[in-house]
Amino acid sequence: MNPREIKRMMSQMGIKSTEMPDVNEVILKGKDKDYLIENATVTMIEAQGQKTFQITGTMKEKTKEKKKELYDEEDVKLVMDQANVGREKAIEALKNAGGEPAQAIINLGQ
């Protein structure tokens, strides 16, 4: 089958195919990894009200670094509750108090 005939048949079935020439990179964000597709060729296919994307290119995986919590969540909540401050202010107070919740609360009370 030639491409013209395929396009005509797809049109008869209500399927529309559109190239997206301005896209050259696609990033898929996962929980633990991100997937980067470089030199991407993207085709959008519309059928029955749904859009599907076909992507080809060179894929690279990038593992996400997990943020390490500097202070225990219970300490942060304790400072927030006792000093009646927001999370950022409680974390800053813990930082200034060397991670000691009691000292952070005292410092915020001054």
Is residue 68 situated within a structural domain?
no
Q: Hunting for tokens 């952070």 — which residue is that?
A: 104
The pLDDT confidence band at residue 110, using thresholds 50, 70 and 90, is confident
Tokens of 108: 């915020």
Same domain, 30 and 52: yes
Instruction: Give the pLDDT of residue 68.
Output: 60
Domain span at residue 98 reads 73-109
Q: Do 7 and 55 belong together in one domain?
A: yes
How far does the chain reach from its first CA to its final CA, in angstroms?
Answer: 81
The model's pLDDT over 10-33, given as tens digits with 9 standing for 90+, comes to: 888 999 989 999 999 999 999 889
φ, ψ for residue 18, nearest 5 deg? -130, 125
Per the domain annotation, does 40 fall within a domain? yes
Total of domains in the chain? 2
Q: How many residues does the chain have?
A: 110
Tell me what pLDDT residue 6 has: 85
pLDDT tens sequence across 22-69: 999 999 999 889 999 999 999 999 998 999 999 999 999 998 876 666
68 CB contacts (<8 Å, ≥6 apart)? none
Q: Are 26 and 54 in contact (CB under 8 A)?
A: no
* Residues in CB range of 25: below 8 A, 6 or more apart: 36, 37, 38, 39, 40
